[in-house]
Amino acid sequence: MTFHLHEVAPRQGIAWTREGFRAFFKRPMALASLFISFMFVGVLAMALPAGGLLLVLALPLLSLGYMIATRSALAGGPVHPGQLIEPLRAGAGQPEAQRRRKSLLMLCALYALVTLLIIWLSNSIDGGRFDRLQELMAGGQGTDSANEAEVQRLLADPALVNGLLVRFGLAALLAIPFWHAPALVWWGGQGLAQSLFSSTLAVWRTKGAFFMYGVAWALVVGAFGIITATVFSLIGARQLVGVAAMPAALMFTVAFYVSLYFSFVDTFGQPE
C-alpha cells in the first residue's frame, strides 16, 4: 500500500506512550513473551562466535515484529513469538514478498554495520573504559570497597564521558532513519534507500511529537524510580528496590516496543 505522511501534533507523543501501556495491559503476558523469547534466543546466540552481531542484526526485526503483534492484539487476534519472524517466512514463493524480505534483510545488515562502526569509534575514544565499567557493574564489583575507587575514577575520566557522548549521540541519530523503516519496507513495499529517507523525513516532520514522547518516557521512568525508592525506604527495605526494578524494566521495555506501532499509525496511517 502507499503511505502518506500525516501532520502529527506534539501532544500525540504523550498519547503514544499512553497507548503503549494501554495495549500492553490488555495482553501483558502475551506481549511480554515476545521479548522474553527474543532475549532467550539472544542468550543462546551469544554462545556463538558471531552471536553479538546476530543479536544486533535482529533488532529491526524485533521492532517490526512488535508492530505486527500489536496490530493483531488490537484487532483481537493472536499474539505469539512467531510474529517476530513472520516477515521472514510470509509469502513464500511470492516475488513481491521475496523482494520485501530481501530489502528487510538488507536493512538489518546495514543497521548492524553502522552499529558496529559506532561501537568501534566509541571504544577508540574511551580506550575500553566503558567496557571495563560494564564489567565492574555487571559483576556487582562496583559496590566493593576494593573496586569502588576504580569505578569513581572511570566515571570522572573525560575519555569515558566523551566516549559516552559519541556512543549515545550517534545511537540516537541512527534510530531516526531506522525508526519507521522496517514497517515501510514490509507494509509499504519501499526499498532500502526510500524507507530510510521516508523515516528520516517523518521523524523530522513530527519532531515535536517525538520530543514529547521522550519527555513522557523520562517522566514515567523517573516517577517510578522516585516512588519505588520512597516506598521501600519508608518500610525499611531499600534492598528490594533492585528486585522491583527487574519486572518494571521488562514492562517498560515491552510497552515501549508496543508504542512504536502507534507512532507509525499516527505518522503514516493504518496498514492494510
CB 32 within 8 A of CB 254: yes
Which of 192, 167, 187 has the alpha carbon at shortest distance from 102?
A: 192
- What are the pLDDT digits (tens) for 99-108? 999 999 999 9
Domain count, the chain: 1
Q: What's the pLDDT score for residue 225?
A: 86
Which of 225, 136, 189, 222 has the alpha carbon at shortest distance from 3?
A: 189
Please check whether residue 56 lies inside any domain of the structure: yes
Please check whether residue 37 lies inside any domain of the structure: yes
Which of 192, 196, 201 has the alpha carbon at shortest distance from 178?
A: 196
Please check whether residue 78 lies inside any domain of the structure: yes
| pTM for the predicted model, two decimal places | 0.89
> DSSP per residue over 236-272, as a string?
T-GGGHHHHHHHHHHHHHHHHHHHHHHHHHHHH----
- What are the pLDDT digits (tens) for 53-69? 889 999 999 999 999 99
Please check whether residue 5 lies inside any domain of the structure: no
Quote the CA–CA distance of 261 and 68 in Å, as a whole number.
8
How buried is 243 (Cβ within 10 angstroms: 0-12 exposed, 13-18 middle, 19+ buried)? exposed
Please check whether residue 6 lies inside any domain of the structure: no
Please check whether residue 204 lies inside any domain of the structure: yes
Please check whether residue 7 lies inside any domain of the structure: no
**Domain encompassing residue 197:** 12-268
Please check whether residue 2 lies inside any domain of the structure: no
Spans in the chain with pLDDT lower than 70: 1, 90-93, 138-147
- Identify the H or E element spanning 78: none
CB 142 within 8 A of CB 148: yes
Q: What's the pLDDT score for residue 207?
A: 95
